[in-house]
Amino acid sequence: MNVCIAQWIGKREKQEDSYAVRSYPHGMLAIVCDGMGGHHFGALASRTAVQAFVADFEAADVALPAPARLRQALDAANKAVGEEFARCDSYGGTTLVAAYVSSGLLWWVSVGDSPMLLWRNRNLLRLNEDHSLRAVYMEYVKMGVFTYEDAMQQGHRLRSAVTGDRYGMLDAPQTPYPLLPGDRIIIASDGVDSLLLPQVLPEAVKAMLDERSSRPLSARLVEACVQQNSPVADNTTVITMDWPS
């Protein structure tokens, strides 16, 4: 399985995204966390969550079903973030999206709004739930009260995050998602939203997702975010996982 990673600080003063990719004899794990709580505390939260998640996942009994290992690792990450902020007498948090691929099957766990997307047959599907207010605002779009662009721009407030407290919402399917030859999985922070989650995906983006060149897709996606030249561009992290055709 071909995995590539790219990252950009955007127009922010500090990179608050953290990530990890680990390969095992029977599978591959990828995780992205997008920190919140200010420059220092956002980076601290995301880094703490990634490190604790990976450590717990790797320490777990390999005979444990993948959904249980992922959920247990999420709980360990949540606990670690809470303990870290208790030590520094402050408060912060992070989104978290983690995917585990083994034998052509995909499992995931996520909290927050960081997307996990699947490119298949020229269609881009969001696999994990969006725990931001955008999902709520989309109902107003249907009613004609908001435009799609308004919902995307104004709905970033999270309804759930990894903070050390109980999750408001989490997405942890018990049934795996079967992969097909040529599938591309994209795990990212919300810096890619304007590129990959518009109401209608531009043909140029579709062509980029379709292209199987020697240049990593993750790098090309980040370059496209840079070229948008948004004055409020967020931290951007992209991990792409290509299931062989």
* Domain boundaries defined on the chain: 2-242
Report which of 210, 213, 187 is spatially closest to residue 96, judged by C-alpha positions. 187
Residue 84's φ and ψ, nearest 5 degrees, are -65, -45
pLDDT at 39 (0 to 100): 56
pLDDT at 143 (0 to 100): 85
pLDDT at 156 (0 to 100): 77
d(CA 234, CA 238): 13
Report which of 118, 124, 116, 114 is spatially closest to residue 203, judged by C-alpha positions. 124
Q: What angle do CA 212, 213, 216 make, to 5 degrees?
A: 95
Q: Which CATH architecture has domain 2-242?
A: 4-Layer Sandwich (3.60)
Q: What is the mean pLDDT of residues 126-133?
A: 95
pLDDT at 135 (0 to 100): 78
Helix (H, G, I), strand (E, B) or coil at 216: coil
Assess whether pLDDT exceeds 70 at residue 80.
yes
Q: What is the mean pLDDT of residues 101-124?
A: 97
